[in-house]
Amino acid sequence: MVSPDVAVAVERLAQRGSLAPEQVRLFGRTARGELVSLSTAIHGLLYLGVAALTTGAGLLFRHEIANLGPITIALAVALAAALCLGWVARRAAPYSNTLVEAPHFAFDSFLVLGALLIAADLAFVEGQFVALGANWVYHLLLVSVGYAALAFRFDSRTLFGLALTSFAAWRGIAAARLERSIFGFFDESNLVRLNALGCGLLFLALGRFLRDRAIKAHFEPTAVHLGWLLVLQSIAWGLVDGRAAGPHRFALIAVGAGLAWFSWRGGRFVLFVFGVLAAYLGLLVTMADVVDNTNAILFLASASSIALVLGLAVIHRRFPDAEDLQ
């Protein structure tokens, strides 16, 4: 990024001997705009190319389905996916439990493209040949397992996130379709909520497991963030749920406050934000219900949020060197 201030600072640091001549040259050229990175443009072109290519192929298949036949199309997509994943496999470093640097700048793009093509091909086959029939929802589970396998083998956090969301989607749809017969006394919304809660807890446990066993420990934040989002969301769904609203509000305040407290102590600032927002939402809904007066609600909402801002300033002053504050 061009910055005249940095250019001046580099000269000053050079005079003080803080930077070596090669560093001065590089930093100075960048700050003066004499050396420009085209990395963003190249990555943008790459993503645009992949998007245009897949969209074009999709349109071609849709228009030519009558001429080519579904088997040809399914095989062609599978071939494209195999080419992508074959290239990835050829380039990939051996498996390791720790973080593995991508061997090529387009490595993750081709990996995700190959995985998405496989998923799309599976959906196409399901649509054309009705392979799983009424149990088509297991398609999502299959995709989730496939994504997870590729994510661990090739060290892709993008695919790991997709695997978790596909799993959660499978549970969400399965809850509405299959489990009603087993838990007949629940209504559909309760089932989905319970499944979201279960998925959230499962993801939290998975994150903990990965971190404790040092198996792709850098995947842990993905699992934990998604897990807490699902847990808090499943509780928040019950905030206006008739007789059960009270316990849900209390639970949201307690869980949110607990999450904020422990995540702050542990330096997990994203989770801290989740916790504070959840606890405040629970508190606000409870206040609005108890007070039942527009003026008082507005006053309490305003006063509480301003108090929270002041509280954040106090927290910042107590922990000025925390990582989030840099």
Partner 1 sequence: MRPEVIAAERVKEVRDAARAWRRAGFINEATQSAILALYSDDRERFGPGLRALAFIFAGFGSLTLVGLSLVLFEPRTEVGAGLHLLFWAAVLFIGTEWQRGPARRADAGAEAATAWGSACCAIAGMVLLGASFDGSGYQQILLRIGLATFAVSGVLAWHWGDRVFHAGAVISGFWLLAQSANGRLAWMVAGAVLIPICLRVARDGGRAPSFRRGSWIVGAAGVLALYAAVHIGSFDQRWIEELNLSNAAPTSPFGFRSLAILATALLPPTLLMMGAWRREPLLLYSGLVLIGVSIATIRLYHAVMPLSLALILIGAFCLALALGVRRWLRDGPAGERHGFTADPLFDDANRTEVVRTAVSMASFTPTAQATPSRPAFEGGGGQFGGGGATGGY
265-284 residues in contact with partner 1 (CB under 8 A) are 269-270, 272-273, 276-277, 280
Q: Which is nearer to partner 1, 7 or 231 (CB)?
A: 7
Taking CA atoms, 73 is separated from 1, 61, 110, 142, in Å, by 46, 6, 20, 21
Q: Does 228 bind partner 1 (CB under 8 A)?
A: no
User: Which of 75, 99, 131, 312 is in the footprint of partner 1 by CB under 8 A?
Assistant: 312
Contact 255, 232 (CB under 8 A): yes
Q: DSSP code of 246?
A: H
d(CA 85, CA 175): 33
Q: Which is nearer to partner 1, 21 or 133 (CB)?
A: 21
The one segment of 53-61, 117-125, 150-158, 227-235 that binds partner 1 by CB under 8 A: 53-61
Whole-number minimum distance, CB 275 to partner 1, in Å? 10
Q: Mask: binding to partner 1, 9-38, rule CB under 8 A, as x and -?
A: x---x--xxxxxxxx-xxx-xxx-xxxxxx
User: Which of 131, 205, 290, 306 is in the footprint of partner 1 by CB under 8 A?
Assistant: 306
d(CA 89, CA 59): 28
Contact 316, 325 (CB under 8 A): yes
The distance from CA 17 to its chain's CA centroid, rounded to whole angstroms, is 44
The one segment of 67-75, 176-184, 236-244, 264-272 that binds partner 1 by CB under 8 A: 264-272
Q: Which is nearer to partner 1, 12 or 213 (CB)?
A: 12
Q: Does 106 bind partner 1 (CB under 8 A)?
A: yes
Contact 203, 223 (CB under 8 A): yes
Taking CA atoms, 243 is separated from 71, 248, 249, 279, 289, in Å, by 54, 10, 11, 20, 13
Number of residues that bind partner 1 (CB under 8 A): 83
Q: Which is nearer to partner 1, 10 or 191 (CB)?
A: 10
Instruction: Take residue 274 and report the two structure tokens written for it.
Output: 């989740």
The one segment of 140-148, 160-168, 208-216, 315-323 that binds partner 1 by CB under 8 A: 315-323
Q: Does 130 bind partner 1 (CB under 8 A)?
A: no
- Please give the radius of gyration of the chain, using alpha carbons only, rounded to the nearest integer: 26
